[in-house]
Structure 1
């Protein structure tokens, strides 16, 4: 790892390290922020961190705490998904089933996680980010007299009170405070000992910088009370890189890789093919520089934060600053990912054969036809398969193996759908059934059970 001034680390080229340092130095100088700290991780290992400060000789480092605002929501989402994975709740459950009496109990857990519950963006006045949580001692105070702005399930509408409800849900089910559950079930298992609900030295102070003069004003750092699950946490660049590694690969001590991947899927319909941003389950999803980034941004008076991960390149970046406005941490963190991924592209792991061969599964590989559309089925690790159109046009998907000999679609049109092998009475493969669609070895194979049958005269030319 590098020193606070951005030097050292042989894992990145000197030119890359200097470009990273230049980016954050420019952000601090042009953005007029008291301090700025950033860090980069590649293939799960920290490879660089750097910082700038307005006080010479007092640069922060990767162990300095900053408030991370709405990045807290991702932590809360992980706790909720743990409850789902334990079978305690279902994401389609209405809130009322586990947390009665809120007045918005018909909203589902899934809708709250993805901000499609129709709830208001903020709690009623006074401004919750700059007032103590004691102002809102009950959930009714957080939700107010009109907690909804629209019907549930229609559109994505970001809601801070929605994550207050999720935090209350965790408390109700676990029988312990949100911060206690967070510490025991997430922070301690991941080794995130410098992520806390209250600041612990060394930590930065929050500042407001005057928009038209080079002067500053300290910002209050309030305990948000019931709003804590939406934005309370303090963390460090080093801890957030640990969290990035978890969000990339999962960790069985906290949440499986499969559940982490589920968090990265857009929870509401996308507006168009050229979408630039979406929201999963506690994770923001953005497209930048031809890449898809997952993570979250955060802001509270006096602080800006961002964590972005490019899973494909296996590069993550954190940007933290202690100013109410100024250099957008989100843009800087995205730029740090781009700098590393472009300058030093990921070197693929060596190709290796599968550890074992299943002759029956191997016999299913090769060409299949949905009507006259040509597809290819390939075998991948853990008895999984991929079914992709031969010419790149059509509905392809990856499938995860089930114990019963079928497969479940993981992405695209066939996400969640079942692929199964249909055999004749003698055990020979007749066709593949994918959500009722029939795939045969030949286009409209006359020997297979094709719905509607196949013309007995077969294929023909045009008689003139």
Structure 2
């Protein structure tokens, strides 16, 4: 199927002016970056809405089924495998690696620190450059780090990107599953998500990788290596169509692979940001970036002959990816720019307000003003029995709370994340107060009948 045929199959959700602007942006990028070909795509609210491509060959552009090497985007797949092990109870993120894979230079690092690049490990292997040489040169895990000084920083003290760290995570998956990590990935992740064009080694049709001369319009092919044990750091090949599926999964989850709650955990910052402006940091296998005022998560990737990027904006309901077959040139921010461009042309429409499908008088009675001491707050009832507490002043300890089977609620965000909200009743069964992690919320500020910790002044409110 030609690229043009594929485009007619996509939902025509974007305005023609938006589609033209996206195409113009990637055309400029391919021309200015001097890359042999460039594929890009956009996902909105869980489905592909646009794809585009440019090529150095007149009258031809690669389709979304052509494979490119995706480099370190591979790490997001490895992280999902590790989180699956955690959710199955086979490991804890606080476990030291030595508990499951003893004898490596990272024995003292926790699995969470490896996932977030805070284990202090070296950024690269000892020579030769692993990305351009066959993995047969590094047949053992011991070959992936210097024997004398594998740690460049104290464990857990700072973010320091480590490719060998993810090779160790791949080995961890192999140890606990008893088979190669690539086979585990295919069976547990790729097959359930329908990503049959994501593979460890290239499968036709695939792009060739090239280096473009910095000062002349000439180029030469790059080696297409099998990096062996270093594969979990950047070995995968994928397509535009499969990356669109991966973006949908990272945004919403799929219970066949990993829950939405676990994916939300992966995209929370796990280490301190590298810069004072907080433009870049890392979660559990996911990069976090601020771009033009919006928070994005995803990952970039590069291998000799290829660059790739995948970014998702939760607030905009948008994801974008780029794939290029040159060692350098295409800026990793291009996918972020496609999100910003689309959001500027077509801002996300808010979901329409709808009333709740049923009325629960007991829950409705909980809504309205509540006071933490003398500070006024309001409690609202949302869909799915979610309670939302917000300070009336605009500053305070607001949170959303998810209902639990035992009649309590668990905080979802902000100060009360993970804390329990309990409705405390009086002897006659009426609601007395709310208890949130020992904080008491009452119906009136320091009311004489309120259960205020420490008691109340017997004279109550008075003028001075």
* CA spacing shift, 1:138–1:271, aligned 2, 3 Å: closer
Which shifted more, 442-451 or 168-177? 442-451
After superposition, the C-alpha distances for 1:176-212 in whole angstroms (9 at most, x for unaligned) are 1100000001000000011000001111111111111
Following TM superposition, by how much is the alpha carbon of 1:285 offset from its aligned partner in structure 2, in angstroms?
A: 1.3
2:413 alignment counterpart: 411
Corresponding residue SS for 2:75: helix
User: Shift of the alpha carbon at 1:347?
Assistant: 2.3
Secondary structure at the counterpart of residue 189 of structure 1: helix
Q: Which moved more, 1:66-75 or 1:121-130?
A: 121-130
**Residue in structure 1 matched with residue 172 of structure 2 by the alignment:** 169
Q: How does 1:425-436 map to 2 (within 5 A)?
A: 425-436=427-438
Cα shift at 1:23: 0.5
Q: Kindly tell me: are residues 191 and 253 of structure 1, through their superposed partners in 2, closer, same or farther at Cα, counting changes over 3 Å?
A: same
Partner of 1:255: 258
Give the corresponding residue for 1:453: 455
SS at match of 1:49: strand
For residue 6 of structure 1, report the CA deviation from its aligned partner. 9.9
Corresponding residue to 1:190 among 180, 188, 193: 193
The Cα shift of 1:172 comes to: 0.8
Alpha-carbon deviations, 1:1-43, whole Å to 9, x = none?
A: 9945997563211111111111011001011111111111112
Alignment of 1:52-451 (within 5 A): 52-145=54-147, 146-270=149-273, 274-328=277-331, 330-451=332-453
* Greater mean deviation of Cα atoms: 267-276 or 40-49: 267-276
Deviation at residue 174 of structure 1 after TM alignment: 0.9
User: Greater shift after overlay, 204-213 or 357-366?
Assistant: 357-366
Closer, same or farther: CA 249–459 of 1 in aligned 2, 3 Å: same
1:353, CA displacement in angstroms?
2.3
What SS does structure 1 have at the residue aligned with 2:229?
helix
Tell me the secondary structure at the aligned position of residue 366 of structure 2.
coil
- Provide closer, same or farther for how the CA distance between residues 2 and 267 of structure 1 changes in structure 2, counting only shifts above 3 A: farther
Aligned length: 461
Distance (Å, rounded) in 2 between the aligned partners of 1:175 and 1:7: 42
RMSD: 1.9
In 1, the alpha carbon distance for the partners of 2:383 and 2:170 equals 37
- Check the 8 A contact 1:300/1:324 in 2, yes or no: yes
Q: Using the alignment, how far apart are the partners of 1:66 and 1:184 within structure 2?
A: 21
Q: Say whether the 8 Å CA contact 2:6–2:63 is kept in structure 1.
A: no
Q: How far apart in 2 are the matches of 1:173 and 1:74?
A: 19
Under a length normalisation based on structure 2, what TM-score does the superposition of the two structures give?
Answer: 0.95
Deviates more, 1:1-10 or 1:264-273: 1-10
Tell me if the contact between 1:6 and 1:21 (Cα under 8 Å) persists in the aligned partners: no
Q: Which runs of 4+ in 1 moved over 6 A?
A: none
SS in 2 for 1:363: helix
Aligned CA distance change for structure 1 residues 395 and 379 (closer, same or farther; 3 Å): same
- Residues 132 and 223 in structure 1, CA contact (< 8 A), matched pair in contact too: yes
- Please tell me whether the aligned partners of residues 296 and 306 of structure 1 are also in contact (alpha carbons under 8 angstroms): yes
Looking at structure 2, the residues matched to 272 and 297 of structure 1 have their Cα atoms a distance apart, in angstroms, of 18
- What's the counterpart of residue 21 of structure 1? 23
